[in-house]
Amino acid sequence: MSRPIHTRGLVLRRTDWSETSQIVTVDTRDHGIVDLLAKGSRRPARRSSSFAEPLDLGGWYDLVYRPRKGDLHLAVEARLIEGFPHLRDDLGAWLEANGILDLLRASFSPGDPHPALLRSALSCLKLLSVGRARLALRDRFVIELLDRSGVWSVGDNCANCEAEIPRGAAHWHAPAALLCAGCRTGGDRPVPEELRTLLGTLQSTAWGNIPSLVAPEPLLAAIWERLREALLHHLERAPRSLRYLRAGGPPGTGAPLRSPSPR
């Protein structure tokens, strides 16, 4: 019998498998995304039970599981470390959290761990409790996710010729790159210098300082439009939650973003 694996993981998806069990998709710190069968996790907890309660969506757990042949492994034990209860009290925060979970699940293959990105996801889920700067938090997380997916190529230098781009001369090239004026193509869009500056600020700002970041909402929304364009280009199938993430403003206000169109 295979030896049990001890790790920590974030539950990205859960499905009731029977009256007493669940199948959960977990992004683990050490082994990336795994699917686990948690037998008895829905059964009323007993002193001898390995699961104090059903595994919860968005929960951060200490996990023990046994690898099995195929893609579905057997969860042996799960202990909740952080459940982020504030997410259930605010629809806007819950939608943002589901977006994070869906993007993690859609962006990476099983067995491809990204522990730094996982830490960033946990930071973002925690900071959603602050109740402000949610669009900045979302932009910051998606920038890092695209970077670690190999899609993001935005910095001070042209993605084509690698020369430093002068101020006011950057152009946005889909899916996610900045080109200088000499390398741009017909469909590339000029990038306002204040938007380029904010991109750099978001990339370099520590997570704990994001809620205090002072940034114009229209610029954050413009960055989200470009990030969303990159996600739609990168993912074979866009997560359903992506359609519910709005450009900004209070939860429940504003119109959903449309698919990006050429300008």
In this predicted structure, what is the pLDDT of residue 254? 30
Question: In terms of Cα–Cα distance, which of 252, 207, 238, 196 is closest to 106?
Answer: 238
Q: What is the pLDDT of residues 73-101, one digit of tens each?
A: 999 999 999 999 999 999 999 999 999 99
Low-confidence ranges of the chain (pLDDT < 50): 48, 249-263
**5-83 and 88-244 share one CATH topology?**
no
Q: Measured between alpha carbons, how far is residue 181 from residues 27, 64, 174, 193 in Å?
A: 41, 53, 15, 14
pTM for the full model?
0.89
Residue 29 in contact with residue 11, Cβ under 8 Å?
Answer: no
Distance of CA 186 to the CA centre of its chain: 32
In this predicted structure, what is the pLDDT of residue 181? 94
Residue 32 in contact with residue 112, Cβ under 8 Å?
Answer: yes
Domain boundaries, the chain: 5-83, 88-244
**5-83, superfamily in CATH?**
Nucleic acid-binding proteins (2.40.50.140)
Question: In terms of Cα–Cα distance, which of 19, 2, 13, 53 is closest to 36?
Answer: 13
In this predicted structure, what is the pLDDT of residue 1? 55
In this predicted structure, what is the pLDDT of residue 44? 67
Q: Which amino acid is at 31?
A: H
Distance of CA 236 to the CA centre of its chain: 16
In this predicted structure, what is the pLDDT of residue 116? 96
CA gap 65, 76 in Å, rounded: 5
CA gap 245, 228 in Å, rounded: 10
CATH architecture, domain defined by 88-244: Up-down Bundle (1.20)
Q: What is the pLDDT of residues 170-187, one digit of tens each?
A: 999 988 999 999 999 989
